[in-house]
Amino acid sequence: MKKLIYSLTLIFALTISANTVSAAGNADKVKTEMTAEQKIQLKRITDRVEEIRAMDKSKLTRDEKKALRSELKNLKQEARAMSGGVYLSVGAIIIIILLLILIL
């Protein structure tokens, strides 16, 4: 059983690494910088978040607090969409989990 798990893990790792190597060849893409409109939008989002952080939330009702939380979630999603960010693929997460299981 242990040999089967190790074999499947090895095959899976090799399959994922082959995809990673082929994806690494696409380095000729030019990174796009943010436009002036996007910078203004990001600044507006940042200002609003700082304004919400500075608020005295102890006097707000439950519904107002809930509305602020949902607004912050929406602002966070907008900021992530604009700035790009670093994302882990499902294969990378699975490999990390398998490695942790094998090590521990």
Question: Is the pLDDT higher at 83 or at 99?
Answer: 99
pLDDT tens-place string over residues 64-94: 999 999 999 999 888 877 766 566 678 888 8
Question: Is the pLDDT higher at 1 or at 67?
Answer: 67
Average pLDDT, the chain: 79
| CA distance to 7, 9, 44, 48, per residue, from 41 (Å) | 50, 45, 5, 11
In this predicted structure, the answer to whether residue 35 has a pLDDT above a threshold of 60 is: yes
User: 33 falls in which pLDDT band (50, 70, 90)?
Assistant: confident
